[in-house]
Amino acid sequence: MTEVKTLLKNIDGSRDFIIDLQTKMTACPAITPHAEGGLGEAAKAEVILETLKALKFDEIKVIEIKDPASPTGVRPNIVAKYYGQNRKKTLWLMAHMDVVPAGDLALWKTDPFKAVVKGDKIYGRGTEDNQQGLVSGILVAKAMMEAGVRPAVNYGLLLNADEEVGSRYGIVSILKKHRSLFGKDDCFLVPDSGSCGGEKVEIAEKSLLWLKITVNGKQAHASMPQNGKNAFVAASYLVLALRDLYKKFNKKDRLFDVPFSVFEATKHEANVPNVNTIPGQEVFYMDCRILPCYDNKRVLAEAQKIAAAVAKKHKVAIKVEAVIDEVSKATDKNEPVVKLVSKYVREIYRKQPKIQGVGGGTVAAYLRNAGFPAVVYARFDEMMHQPNEYCSIKNTMGDAKIFLLTALNLK
């Protein structure tokens, strides 16, 4: 008991360490080299490696993923491990090094790439997304190392490149080409999203299905509708007919914040430039967020069936195709890592944890689909991607305590 207290106290005493590391990282804008002027993660990775090497990790390595657009030709991903008593299993904390661009500088009160400390807050691009989680993860290791404590299973840090633009040079490649890094019983903490109060413990997301719908009719002069087939009119009927997807796939799952699947018509491509032409083609899109109990293929087939009926009635041709089709597995709420995080949210923040699913499209889906339990958790003021982004030092410490207690108690 006293041992745990010593470890938690170590985290309470880490304000200077947090500010120092945040300041050094913020000074290295790790923006994707695929955006204008982006230099990638190389400089930031150096700063982080310097910090990790000063601690007592048993293994530190850099996995470089080839990217010709990067000034160094590669994108670095850092893997560091502190051995537990059982070396066959690892609790990973996964965070990302890259940041989004600063955006409109006129909206910033301070230089986005120079950390500024005001009370509990550290301002700067990336301080919250994802440096807060990254620092929390390092604090966990540092506390255990300085007290000479070994967790039951290994504690690993996986610090990735390229999260903000699709993870192609980060976790996606790592899972594909370096799968041997992971043991079959490994699990993950991903401190990359959360709620202001720190209640939200995210374990699932909806599957994502984006549909492109092309309606082909026949162009004609607007004064002569009998010579054409109005694709816009047919598409409009179809937009409304597709609302039936809500009825067809209407199951509820209270785990999710929006507890049902959603099927929304969204983007619409320009058709004809002038008012006096009946458009011969219409293209529009749907964003579908589907509960895990449904199969994306069934939704696509149902949308095609609805489209076929509209096509017949309006004498047009309609093609419905999937442009994004990402199925997402959920992490079981009874997984030990979920239970432990929830327990310590209660203990550290004195909040009732809310185990939840989200709308879809997060980096944890790659891990869950690869078969690993993954908990997305952080206490965030939700400043990510915004001007005047900041992180909270208190939240950095609080999250670190939750992760530390999880690491100490996971078997």
Instruction: Name the site residues for Zn ion (rule: CB under 5 A).
Output: 129-130, 192
CA distance 236 to 303: 14
CA distance 53 to 45: 12
Catalytic one among 129, 162, 163, 282? 163
Q: Using the structure block, give the residue that is written with the tokens 């530190």.
A: 60
CA distance 345 to 150: 22
Q: Which is nearer to Zn ion, 130 or 281 (CB)?
A: 130
> 163 an active-site residue?
yes
Task: List phi, psi (to 5°) of 334.
Answer: -95, 0
End-to-end CA distance of the chain: 18
Q: Which is nearer to Zn ion, 129 or 162 (CB)?
A: 129
Q: Which is nearer to Zn ion, 192 or 399 (CB)?
A: 192
CA distance 182 to 186: 6
CA distance 348 to 398: 7
Q: How does strand 153-160 pair with strand 86-96?
A: parallel
CA distance 29 to 50: 17
Q: Are 380 and 95 within 8 A, CB to CB?
A: no
> 98 an active-site residue?
yes
Cα–Cα distance list, 48 to 110, 158, 387 (Å): 24, 12, 24
CB of 384 to Zn ion, least distance (A): 6
Q: Which is nearer to Zn ion, 310 or 376 (CB)?
A: 376
Q: Which is nearer to Zn ion, 22 or 230 (CB)?
A: 22
CB of 171 to Zn ion, least distance (A): 12
Give residue 104's Cα distance to chain centre.
23
Q: Which is nearer to Zn ion, 263 or 403 (CB)?
A: 403
- Residue 319: how many CA atoms within 13 Å on its side-chain side? 10
Q: Which is nearer to Zn ion, 98 or 302 (CB)?
A: 98
CB of 68 to Zn ion, least distance (A): 25
CB of 129 to Zn ion, least distance (A): 4
CB of 133 to Zn ion, least distance (A): 8
Coil, strand or helix at 359 = coil
CA distance 117 to 393: 10
Q: Are 328 and 129 within 8 A, CB to CB?
A: no
CA distance 252 to 236: 28
160: its two tokens: 């990735």
CB of 385 to Zn ion, least distance (A): 8
CB of 391 to Zn ion, least distance (A): 12
Q: Using the structure block, give the residue that is written with the tokens 């993870």.
A: 167
Active site (catalytic) residues: 98, 163
